[in-house]
Amino acid sequence: MNKSIKILGLIAVIMISSLLIFATQKSDSNNNNFLKEGDKNTSETYEIKALKIPENLDFAGERVPTENNDIKERLDRELLVNTYWHSNTMLLFKRAHKFFPMMEPILKQNGIPNDFKYLALIESGLLNLTSPAGAKGFWQILDSTAKENGLEVNKNVDERYHIEKSTQAACNYLKAAKARFGNWTLAAAAYNAGNRGVSSKMETQMVDSYYDLLLGDETERYILRIVAVKEIMSNPEKYGYKFDKEDLYTATPTKIVEVSTPITDIAQYSKDLGINYKIMKLHNPWLRENTLENKTGKTYHLKIPSEIK
């Protein structure tokens, strides 16, 4: 009796094992078929393609010499990096739609080519960043440069974070650099490497064109990155970017509140205006603390949402 039970048990174990092996093989087969089908679909819908370098590219109306192999390869790098860095470049499209309209009139008023908005874009991604060297804001302006170009910088006000005022300061710098170097390409390079940095390289290497200079990696990439981003953002569908207008970021309509006295508590002041501290700081990032000392009685212009009565 016990022997019969043992035999029946062994038979049951063998049958169950066989069924499990069959089920596993079938599952693996289905998974393999699924993966093959998925691979097929992926190859059809997503491809990494080499990019054709467009002819007649320019920066600020100044032609990029793409017939030069070195320039062509460096430009190819920037086109590839910014085309296939999908999330970052899509965010650039979104932020540019919000902030470019604030910059463009100021560039135009100062006689600065519209292409310089892309300089701000590659400097900061249109975020209020601080660089390792201490440059701040969309235009990544150093403390000394800010003060030289009329911006207020102290512990509770930093106008490098004021989009309109920092754009004007950048225009001041760029106009002076253009007068010094004679063209916008070198002026843009000087924005990155400094006037003296570019001048010394030109003198040492005895050349007068940005495209003939041997520079540090950052400055060598600088102009070509601007050109690449301009090309991609001017032709989004060509580079695979598709979006509707409502997908892009927009600025909240604002109105101005003038203040010429100190504010001891900006959070309370904001509340009195019908908003909160966060909203005040979002629209006025140049306010760096919860106070505005304003010892000189200067008139400041605070932005608040237009809907606030």
pLDDT tens sequence across 15-58 = 555 544 444 444 444 444 433 434 443 345 667 889 999 989 99
Other Cβ atoms less than 10 A from the Cβ of 24: the count is 10
Which pTM does this prediction carry? 0.84
Question: How many whole angstroms separate alpha carbon 295 and alpha carbon 297?
Answer: 6
Question: How many whole angstroms separate alpha carbon 118 and alpha carbon 110?
Answer: 16
Residue-level pLDDT at 142: 97
pLDDT exceeds 90 at position 160: yes
Coil, strand or helix at 185? helix
The b/e string for 127-160 (b: 16+ C-beta within 10 A; e otherwise) is: eeeeeeeebbbbbbbbeebbeebebbbeebbbbb
Specify the CATH number of the domain 58-247.
Answer: 1.10.530.50
Residue-level pLDDT at 173: 97
Task: Give whole-number Cα distances, 254 to 160, 246, 306, in Å.
Answer: 20, 20, 4
Residue 200's closest CA among 189, 112, 9, 106? 189
Q: At what angle do helices 184-193 and 195-205 cross, to 10 degrees?
A: 110
Residue-level pLDDT at 53: 94
> What are the tokens at 170?
């950048």
Task: Specify the residue for token string 């504010």.
Answer: 263
pLDDT in tens, 97-153: 999 999 999 999 999 999 999 999 999 999 999 999 999 999 999 999 999 999 999
Question: How many whole angstroms separate alpha carbon 107 and alpha carbon 127?
Answer: 19
Residue-level pLDDT at 34: 35
Question: How many whole angstroms separate alpha carbon 14 and alpha carbon 4?
Answer: 16
- pLDDT tier at 308 (50, 70, 90 boundaries)? confident
- Bridge partners (DSSP) of residue 259 are 300
> What are the tokens at 264?
């001891």
Task: Give whole-number Cα distances, 1 to 9, 10, 143, in Å.
Answer: 12, 14, 96
- Bridge partners (DSSP) of residue 136 are 130, 141
Mean pLDDT taken over the chain: 89
Residue-level pLDDT at 37: 38
Residue-level pLDDT at 309: 74
Question: How many whole angstroms separate alpha carbon 300 and alpha carbon 152?
Answer: 11
Task: Specify the residue for token string 């109105």.
Answer: 255
pLDDT exceeds 90 at position 172: yes
The answer to which of 40-54, 100-114, 221-235, 277-291 has the lowest mean pLDDT is 40-54
pLDDT exceeds 60 at position 245: yes
Q: Domain coordinates of the chain in residue numbers?
A: 58-247, 254-305
Give the type of residue at 109. Q
Task: Give whole-number Cα distances, 296 to 43, 134, 257, in Å.
Answer: 65, 27, 18
Residue-level pLDDT at 47: 79
Residue 213's closest CA among 238, 235, 186? 186
pLDDT exceeds 80 at position 2: no
Is the C-alpha dihedral spanning 278, 281, 287, 288 positive or negative?
positive
The answer to which of 29-38, 176-185, 187-196, 213-222 has the lowest mean pLDDT is 29-38
Task: Say if CB 161 and CB 286 are below 8 A apart.
Answer: yes
